[in-house]
Amino acid sequence: MSKIFVTGNMQFGRASIISKLKRPFSSLEEMHSELVSRWNSVVGPNDVVYHCGNFAWDPETAETFLRMLNGRIYLVPGENDHAILDLTANRSMPKNSVVINRIVELDEAEAVLTYWPLAAWPKQGKNYYNIHGFMSKKHLSDWKTKSCNVACDLWGFKPMEIQVVKEIVELGNQVN
């Protein structure tokens, strides 16, 4: 049985993200190696991953890493996702991945997936979670509003099972 994972803000190919977000990597190569290793350590080939924004900095890097990562990957575009949009436009997206809408309603998980945190969303009255990937200390997970920030920097640089994220946020905690 396949599992559903969520993550965001991997930023493959963006060297400046290491210093900007104070990531614990000494080089882009080390960051890439760790991100792939950590991803593939939890995601199997038949699992599903929703990546909530800012996957890669350029099309060549995006294509390379999409081919290296396990799972069926659904990419929710973020502010710096021109690379995956270019791959889609040029029909060179790897077969294990697809770009989807900027707002994804995942009814089976009672969640709405986005890059930007939403103050309100169409299913808010149904008590759905808003799972987003925007990396900001101002927009951390909040159990009161059912807002879950899944930027990889906040979750050990790896995808997390969607149900686990929701349970942790319900408890008022965040994994680092």
Q: What is the pLDDT of residue 77?
A: 94
Q: What pTM value is reported for the model?
A: 0.92
Q: In which residue are the tokens 């949009």 written?
A: 85
Q: What is the fold, at CATH topology level, of the domain defined by 4-170?
A: Purple Acid Phosphatase; chain A, domain 2 (3.60.21)
The 8-class DSSP code of residue 26 comes to S
CA–CA separation, 34 and 45 (whole Å): 18
Q: What is the pLDDT of residue 73?
A: 97
The predicted-structure confidence for 73-118, as pLDDT tens digits, reads as follows 999 999 999 999 999 888 888 999 999 888 888 988 989 899 988 8
Q: What is the pLDDT of residue 121?
A: 57
Q: What is the pLDDT of residue 171?
A: 82
Are the C-beta atoms of 153 and 20 separated by less than 8 Å?
Answer: no
Q: What is the pLDDT of residue 172?
A: 74
Q: What is the pLDDT of residue 124?
A: 62
Q: What is the pLDDT of residue 37?
A: 98
Q: What is the pLDDT of residue 125?
A: 61
Partners of 6 in beta bridges: 50, 160
CA–CA separation, 97 and 112 (whole Å): 19
From the list 50, 42, 36, 39, the residue with the least C-alpha distance to 8 is: 50
Residue ranges in the chain whose pLDDT is less than 50 = 176
